[in-house]
Amino acid sequence: MQKTVFITGASRGIGKAAALKFAKENYNVVINCIKNTQMLEDVKNEVEAYGASCLALSGNVGDYKQAQEMFREIERIFPGIDILINNAGISHIGLLSDTSITQWNDVIESNLTSVFNCSKLALPYMIQRKKGRIINISSIWGVTGASCEVAYSTSKGGINAFTKALAKELAPSNILVNAIACGVVDTDMNQQLTADERAKLMAEIPAGRFATANETANFIYTLSTGNNYLTGQVIQFDGGWL
């Protein structure tokens, strides 16, 4: 039976690259974003150009009711989700003293609550089949913390703990849960950096460059389909930076 992958935050960047990678590998692909609906439709068209079936869902996976509706739509078309890629997320840069409660809640909901919502809703099908993969896209700032990114670092640190705990819970059901703690990936999220800031940041990374969205997607695919014993890991994908 053809397998189905659900990728949140897939209108651009890592999520888009992952969608195209799974399409090339003949998966049914479900993609989501919260507001870039035309970009999401463009990704859908690219996915279908590879001959893959694609369902594009607009909505906030950080809102449980909206996430429920998305999963009802998924299950109307496909049996369920075999691989879940929790990629949706936003960043916020600023001092904690200047961060509003609304900004804090937005980051936690988008980055962390969405992981809870989608994982919980994907599990019944996986548990029934005694098989499944959940990949959470985290950050090195969830490991070490970043000044002026307290909300973002907290959300990613929560994802790391969530990954380790859920992996233990689901291992008896043969469901693997891992996280990728990304360093700097050359996506739109980092376009606010000036040329000088980019050069200085690259100089700190032993690999001497940022990761590309495509090589990140290739690693997501490898982790989603490879070793059947690897679970509960937060794997740093940072070019040796930390």
What is the Cα 174 distance to its own chain's centre?
Answer: 21
Find out whether 106 and 194 touch, Cβ atoms under 8 Å: no
- To the nearest whole percent, how much of the chain has pLDDT over 90? 95
Please state, in angstroms and rounded to a whole number, the distance separating the CA atoms of residues 170 and 57: 27
Going from the N-terminus, what domains does the chain have, and what CATH number goes with each? Answer: 4-237 (3.40.50.720)
The pLDDT assigned to 192 comes to 76
Q: What is the mean pLDDT of the chain?
A: 96
Set 27, 152, 221, 229: catalytic member: 152
pLDDT in tens, 32-68: 999 999 999 999 999 999 999 999 999 999 999 999 9
- From the number of C-beta atoms within 10 Å of its C-beta (0-12, 13-18, 19+), residue 95 rates as exposed
Render 86-155 in DSSP notation, one character per residue. Answer: E-------S-GGG--HHHHHHHHIIIIIHHHHHHHHHHHHHHHHT-EEEEEEEETHHHH--TT-HHHHHH
The pLDDT assigned to 187 comes to 85
Going 200 to 211 to 48 to 73, the CA torsion angle's sign is negative
pLDDT in tens, 142-191: 999 999 999 999 999 999 999 999 999 999 999 999 999 999 999 877 77
With residue 190 as reference, give the H or E element that holds it: none
1: pLDDT confidence band, cut at 50, 70 and 90? confident
The pLDDT assigned to 3 comes to 97
Render 196-214 in DSSP notation, one character per residue. Answer: HHHHHHHHHSTTSSPBPHH
Please state, in angstroms and rounded to a whole number, the distance separating the CA atoms of residues 14 and 216: 7
- 27 noted as active-site residue: no
74: pLDDT confidence band, cut at 50, 70 and 90? very high
- To the nearest whole percent, how much of the chain has pLDDT over 70? 100
Cα angle: 65, vertex 109, 193; to 5 degrees: 135
Instruction: Output phi, psi for 62, to 5 deg.
Output: -80, -10
Q: What tokens does 138 get?
A: 């985290």
The pLDDT assigned to 194 comes to 85
The pLDDT assigned to 8 comes to 98
The pLDDT assigned to 228 comes to 94
Please state, in angstroms and rounded to a whole number, the distance separating the CA atoms of residues 52 and 7: 14
